[in-house]
Amino acid sequence: MREPQPALVATLGRNVEFGAVLAVLLATGWVANHFVALMPAISERQHLSVATLDAIFGIYAVGLLPGLLLGGRASDAFGRRAVALTGSATAAVGTVAMLLSQQPEVLTVGRLIVGVGVGLAMSSGTAWASDLKGPAGAATAGAVLIVGFAIGPFAGGLITGAGEAGVRISFGVAAALVVTAMAVMIATARRPPHAVTEDSYDPSRSTQAQGVIRALSWALPLAPWVFASATLGFVTIPARVHTGLAAPVAAGFAALIVNGASGVVQIIARAARWGPQAGTTGAVLAALSYALIAVAPPTMTLALSLPLLLLLGCASGLSLREGLIDLEAAAPQRVRGTLTGVFYSVTYIGFGLPLVLTTGGPRLTQLILAAMAVLASTAAISRTMRLRRDSHRQS
């Protein structure tokens, strides 16, 4: 029997490693977002105001931002696997804390800890996927993360709506998934954690600086529309629609539709080879969605809300996919993790949008959404003009 060729063995090992990375990202998306479907039940049982619950939801971003920035930089220096496992373990700790108690103080601390862990895992895992598979790896990482964002709240809504212990069961399932993904990553380890060293990529300082500036100048204009669009869809809109469904189930369905549309449109964009123009489309859809929500009545019908959920999901997915590919195309490898963290940090600013809209009142809400529509339109126009004179990417 012939021995496997070294190249084939290396390819198989890389594929197994890539699968483990995707498992961690899927679990990360789940544990980050399943809380959305638990919010109505927790609010009712703990007698929390909407503003308090939105603050608990939004504090996740306070932990997430340093997690993203530190995680990306640490993964460049110490290796993707070590940081991804650290982030996953941190997210599991925060989730277990909320499993044990749903008091407001514990929820606040737990969500903060989960945010830190998710940030570490997202930035290192996405950069790792990009290292392994290039642009396809970066895009796949974003799509799998979105799948986790979609399935987590949907499953959480079904579990929570099934009985009194549903909230605790949902936290338990999320924690178990993260631990399982960590076990898969550890079991498939085939080499020491990878760190990008000075010797592996050695451009001049000026060339590297140009690569950093170029990567961020392409990716960051798309970043704000990723989670601003998503949270409008699965937090703000369900509160304005009367469906007759239990609140956790309605929130779960909204998250499934938004994030499902986000994942599907990314698959379509790849299969149809839409290229960098897909980022322009994402910004246009974001602008259209924000404008429609700004002029929509306070109470929406299903006929109006469902198309909005789909539009918001597509805007989120295309902005995420093209932003990550923009980074992969231009970022120097030795700082790819750092730049991925910067990109995700800007995307997650959108997670604070529901709290701002809740506390601002109807008139301010309209003004904020109108301003966002103008900014997203500006991003789309600028990208279109730049693509005409700059062959940034061919696919």
pLDDT at 178: 96
Residue 14's identity, in one-letter code, is R
What's the CA angle centered on 269, arms 210 and 249, to 5 degrees?
Answer: 110
User: With bands split at pLDDT 50, 70 and 90, how would you rate the model's confidence at 113?
Assistant: very high
What is the mean predicted confidence (pLDDT) over 248-269? 85
Q: Is the pLDDT of residue 194 over 80?
A: no
pLDDT at 33: 84
| 304-350 pLDDT tens trace | 999 999 999 999 999 999 999 998 888 888 888 899 899 988 997 88
pLDDT at 86: 96
Q: Is the pLDDT of residue 198 over 60?
A: no
pLDDT at 200: 44
Q: Is the pLDDT of residue 56 over 70?
A: yes
What is the mean predicted confidence (pLDDT) over 218-247? 87
pLDDT at 21: 94
Q: CA-CA distances (angstroms) from residue 283 to 155, 233, 263, 357, 394?
A: 29, 16, 16, 21, 19
Q: Is the pLDDT of residue 246 over 90?
A: no
pLDDT at 231: 87
The two structure tokens encoding residue 304: 């109006």
What is the mean predicted confidence (pLDDT) over 233-238? 86
Q: Is the pLDDT of residue 19 over 90?
A: yes
Q: Is the pLDDT of residue 124 over 60?
A: yes
What is the mean predicted confidence (pLDDT) over 33-50? 82
pLDDT at 270: 87
pLDDT at 357: 84
pLDDT at 191: 54
pLDDT at 173: 95
pLDDT at 378: 97
Q: Which domains does the chain have, with CATH numbers?
A: 13-186+205-389 (1.20.1250.20)
Does pTM surpass 0.95? no
Q: Is the pLDDT of residue 18 over 80?
A: yes
pLDDT at 197: 46
Interatomic CA distance for residues 363 and 369, integer angstroms: 10
User: With bands split at pLDDT 50, 70 and 90, how would you rate the model's confidence at 226?
Assistant: very high
The answer for residues whose C-beta is within 8 angstroms of residue 304's C-beta and 6 or more apart is 296
pLDDT at 201: 45
| 344-393 pLDDT tens trace | 889 978 877 877 887 777 889 999 999 999 999 999 999 999 998 876 66
